[in-house]
Amino acid sequence: MSREGAEHALRARADERDRISGDLLDLESHTTYQLLKGASLRGATERRWAAAQESLAGLWSLYDAYRAVLRDAEQVRAARTRMGADQLARLTELLVGTSVVVRAAAKPVEQRSLLPQADQRLTLDETVARMDAAFREVTATLNDIDAVWNAVLPRLDGTDADLRRIRELERELGEAADLGGQEAELKRLRATVVEDPLGAAVEQDLDRLARLLAGARAEAELAVVVKGEYARRREDLVAALDRVRAAESEARLAHGAVVVKIALPPQAQPRSRVDALAAGLDALDASADAWVLRAKRLSALEGEARQAAEQAQATAKALYGLVGRRDELRGRLGACQVMAVRKGLAEDPATSELYERARVLLWSAPCDLTTAAAAVENYQRAIHGGKR
């Protein structure tokens, strides 16, 4: 190496040493590294972390040897203002040659030999490459563990928050649910993730537990609301039952008015649900069940009352609609008769017979709508020559 080349290489190596030193300090101050140092690990994580620590110990050993060579090189350069040939040769040997000595590692007695263990000699570049490989192994381990913790621990915290909130709501309700099994399961999952994140397969169990506790929390929150609003909602439900009675009464009146005009099947008779709903409300008032169950039942009764009222109203509308359908068929029959006159078919015996059949059906009471509609259809086809 030239003098300028040697000095430039020494400055570059000094910068490299400072950068490596900073990276190693950052590694040891990494949050996950600090957590793992004092953690009680097991399984796949324990094995992976042990291997990473061994690599890290080797890295520090290499770094000490690397730094010692650079320290020697800096001392050689500082000995004289202008380097002589001997200094330059020595500096070149340190910077380019196999100047880093890696001592043979001590082995367990069962792996030793009575023959001397040879030390390794590496160049500075080879040493940096080995340190980089060890550094990457350690950071890869940290990243893999960190990825699991970042993904799973917040979800465990959220599930734990649900459990704590459920306990608070239970105290507010004065009731207690049997969640001891879920609490134990949550502790087990947390211990598994903390102690062996790389071997943990907790996603399915955590999904199931999270759904269960989220559902239990929602039920408890609803129960608290229902408990506070029960008196008002009960009054609203009583009013809703009155609306059901009114709607069912209208449906019965519609059935009575229509059944004399339109032939109805037995199943068209409106059925009352209000008595069953009223009995359900009475049972709810007398219930000693937990508020979670009472909240569910109250919400169900409210929904059933709305549905019963809507169904009764729809029944009345449908029944009156049958009369409208009959009147619409009467109108179609009249229009067809006018068309028959225009076409000169009014006196045709076959056409007249079809008209008369349709007319009798439509003006009979009660009217068979299905048969009457078919009769009108036949008459209309006859007028149009069998075409529609």
**Which among 299, 180, 315 is positioned nearest to 240, based on CA atoms?**
299
Instruction: Compute how many other C-beta atoms are within 10 angstroms of the C-beta atom of residue 92.
Output: 16
Q: For residue 362, is pLDDT > 90?
A: yes
Q: Supply the mean pLDDT for the chain.
A: 90
Domain ranges of the chain: 3-150, 158-221, 226-320, 324-383
Q: Is the pTM of this model over 0.75?
A: no
Give the burial string for 202-228 (b: 16+ CB within 10 Å, else e). beeebeebbebbeebbebbbbbbebbe
Summarised one tens digit per residue, pLDDT across range 155-177 is: 999 999 999 999 988 888 887 77
> Is 354 exposed, middle or buried (CB count within 10 Å of its CB: 0-12, 13-18, 19+)?
buried
Determine how many CB atoms are found less than 10 A away from the CB of residue 48.
Answer: 20
pLDDT at 303: 96
pLDDT, position 388: 41
Is it true that the peptide bond before 366 is cis, omega within 30 degrees of 0? yes
Asked if the model's pLDDT at residue 223 lies above 90, the reply is no
Half-sphere exposure of 141 (CA within 13 A, CB side): 22
**pLDDT reading at 197 higher than 90:** yes
What is the predicted pLDDT for the residue at 326?
A: 95
Has residue 205 got a pLDDT over 60? yes
Residue 344 pLDDT greater than 70, yes or no = yes
Task: Give pLDDT, residue 175.
Answer: 76
Q: Is the pLDDT of residue 359 over 50?
A: yes
